[in-house]
Amino acid sequence: MRIILIGPPGAGKGTQCQRLVEYLDVPHLSTGEMLRAAIRAGTPEGVAAKDFMEHGHLVPDTVVLAMVTKRLESPDCRIGCLLDGFPRTLPQAEMLDELLERRAMTVDGVVELAVPREELIRRMLARKRADDNPEVFSKRIASFENQTAPLLDYYSRQGKLATVDGLGDADEIFGRVRTAVEKFAKRPGRGGSR
Ligand code: ADP
Q: Determine which residue's CA is closest to atom 9 belonging to ligand 1.
A: 32
Q: Assess if residue 193 is contained within a domain.
A: no
Domain tally, the chain: 1
Q: Assess if residue 150 is contained within a domain.
A: yes
Q: CB of 58 within 8 A of CB of 119?
A: no
pLDDT digit string, tens, across residues 86-129: 999 999 999 999 999 998 999 999 999 999 999 998 988 888 76
Q: CB of 58 within 8 A of CB of 89?
A: yes
Q: Assess if residue 36 is contained within a domain.
A: yes
Q: Is 46 in the pocket of ligand 1 (CB under 6 A)?
A: no
Q: Assess if residue 194 is contained within a domain.
A: no
| 16-47 per-residue burial string, b: 16 or more CB within 10 A, e: under 16 | bbeebbeebebbbbbbbebbbebbeeeeebbe
**Structure confidence at residue 136 (pLDDT):** 85
pLDDT digit string, tens, across residues 43-74: 999 999 999 999 889 999 999 999 999 999 99
Q: CB of 165 within 8 A of CB of 176?
A: yes
CATH of residue 124 = 3.40.50.300
Q: Is 176 in the pocket of ligand 1 (CB under 6 A)?
A: no
Ligand 1 mean position to 186 CA, how many Å?
Answer: 31
User: Does residue 193 have a pLDDT over 60?
Assistant: no
Q: Assess if residue 192 is contained within a domain.
A: no
Residue in 68, 90, 86 with CA at minimum distance from that of residue 3: 86
Q: What range does the domain containing 12 cover? A: 2-186
Q: Is 52 in the pocket of ligand 1 (CB under 6 A)?
A: yes
